[in-house]
Amino acid sequence: MSGRVAVVRGLGGALPEKVVTNEYLSSIMDTSDEWIRRRTGIGERRHSDDSENTSVLATTAAVRALESAGIELGSASSTAVGLLIVATSTPDKVCPATAPKVAANLGLNGIAAFDVSAVCSGFVYALATASWAIGSGAVDSALVIGADTFTRLLDPTDRSTAVIFGDGAGAAYLTAGTRDEPGAILASTLHSDGDGEALIQVPHQGAFFEMQGKEVFTQAVSAMSDSVETVLANVGWAASDVDSLVAHQANLRILNTVASVTGIPESKAEVHLDRVGNTSAASIPLAMTDAGTKGHRSAGDKVILTAFGGGTTWGAVAMTWPEISVVDPH
C-alpha cells in the first residue's frame, strides 16, 4: 500500500443568518416543540435567504477551511488547491455545476472543479473521491465542500419535512501526507441502491422535496451501521477505540441507534442537529466544525464519519482528528 494519503488540514462551516425555531414552526403548522424534540432531537434550524444561495454558503465555508489551515485567500490559495468538489443536491442552477462558481469566487479559476450529487451522503462521497485523487498522486490538495439549501424545495405545509431540514455548508481542506499524521483519511467505503430512488426525491423540476421517513429511518440505521463496521475492519479498530462518531445529522434516534448497533458508546456520537437540523451534504462537515469549536477533540483521535441519503447512497470514512483550530460559524 502506498504511504501517501490525504490529510485534513482545515475545517470550516457557514450558516445562514435566519434562525427558525420549533416554536415558530408550531405557529404555522400542526406540530409542537415537544414532538419535534422527542422524535428528532432538533431544536432549531437555519433558513437561507436570496443572498445566501448554495455557492455563497459554500464559498464562506471554504474560506474558513483554508483559514483554519493557515492559508489566506489570494495568490497563495491558487497554488494551494488542486481540486474543488462541491457535494450538493441543491445547486444554484440546474446546470452548470456549482463547484466552478465557488472556485472562481475563491480566485481558483483554472482548477478542476465539479459537483457530487448524493444528497445527504454527498460529503462522504466527495471526501472519499478527493482522498483517492490525492492518494493516487493525481493532485496534491483539495477543497471538499458539502453545501445544501433544501429549505427552498420544501413544501411549507408538510410538517414531516419542514421541521427537519435546514440550510448550511461545511468544508474540509486536504493535502497529501502520511497515515500517521493527525487528520489522515485511512479508509472509506461507498455504496448505492437506485431501486430506492423514490424514498428521498424531488420527482421533477418545480416539485417539492419528498421523503418516506419511516422507511428511510430503517435503511439509514442498517446501511450506516454496516458501513461503520466495514471501515472499522479496514483500519483494524474496535468499536471501543472510536473517540468520535460523526454520523449524518438526520435524527438523534438514528445517531443513538447506529452507535448502539455498532457498539460505539452513544457518548461518542457528535450531536449538532439540535441547533441546525438536517443540513444534508453539509451536516457532517458542520458537525465536525462544531466538535472542533467545542474543543472536545484532540489531534489524532480516532474518528468515524458515516452517512445515508437519497439515491439511495451511503458510506463511511475512518480518519484521525486533525491538528487544527476551527472558527465557530454560529
Q: How far apart are CA 128 and CA 107, in angstroms?
A: 25
Nearer to ligand UT7, 83 or 255 (CB): 255
The one-letter code for the residue type at 105 is: N
* Position 154 contacts ligand UT7 (CB under 6 A): no
CA-based torsion, 267, 284, 154, 48: positive or negative: positive
Q: How far apart are CA 140 and CA 300, in angstroms?
A: 22
Of residues 39-98, those binding ligand UT7 (CB under 6 A): 39-40
| Catalytically annotated residue among 22, 47, 53, 120 | 120
Q: Residue 169, SS3?
A: strand
Nearer to ligand UT7, 139 or 252 (CB): 252
Q: How far apart are CA 21 and CA 37, in angstroms?
A: 11
Q: Give the helix ranges, DSSP H, for the chain.
A: 22-28, 33-40, 54-68, 75-80, 99-105, 122-136, 159-162, 213-235, 252-262, 273-276, 283-294
* Position 179 contacts ligand UT7 (CB under 6 A): no
DSSP states of 50-84: TT--HHHHHHHHHHHHHHHTT--TTHHHHHH-SEE
Does residue 95 carry a catalytic annotation? no
CB atoms within 10 A of CB 138: 12
Closest CB 27 distance from ligand UT7, rounded Å = 13
* Position 35 contacts ligand UT7 (CB under 6 A): yes
Q: Are 20 and 42 in contact (CB under 8 A)?
A: no
Q: Are 305 and 242 in contact (CB under 8 A)?
A: no
Closest CB 183 distance from ligand UT7, rounded Å = 26
Nearest residue (beta carbon) to ligand UT7: 213
* Position 159 contacts ligand UT7 (CB under 6 A): yes
Closest CB 58 distance from ligand UT7, rounded Å = 19
Nearer to ligand UT7, 35 or 114 (CB): 35
Closest CB 93 distance from ligand UT7, rounded Å = 23
* Partner residues linked to 100 by β-bridges: none
Nearer to ligand UT7, 4 or 152 (CB): 152
**Looking at 83, 86, 143, 163, which residue binds ligand UT7 (CB under 6 A)?**
163
Of residues 296-325, those binding ligand UT7 (CB under 6 A): 308-309
* Partner residues linked to 143 by β-bridges: 84, 173
| Catalytically annotated residue among 248, 251, 272, 330 | 248
Distance, CA of 39 to chain centre? 22
Does residue 120 carry a catalytic annotation? yes
Of the candidate spans 11-19, 56-64, 126-134, 160-168, the one that interacts with ligand UT7 by CB under 6 A turns out to be 160-168
Does residue 272 carry a catalytic annotation? no
Please work out the total of residues on this chain that contact ligand UT7, with binding judged by CB under 6 A: 22
Q: Are 98 and 46 in contact (CB under 8 A)?
A: no
Of the candidate spans 28-36, 104-112, 238-246, 261-269, the one that interacts with ligand UT7 by CB under 6 A turns out to be 28-36
Of residues 211-270, those binding ligand UT7 (CB under 6 A): 213-214, 216-217, 220, 250-251, 254
Active site residues: 120, 248, 278
- Residues at the interface with ligand UT7 (CB under 6 A): 31, 35-36, 39-40, 120, 159-160, 163-164, 200, 213-214, 216-217, 220, 250-251, 254, 278, 308-309
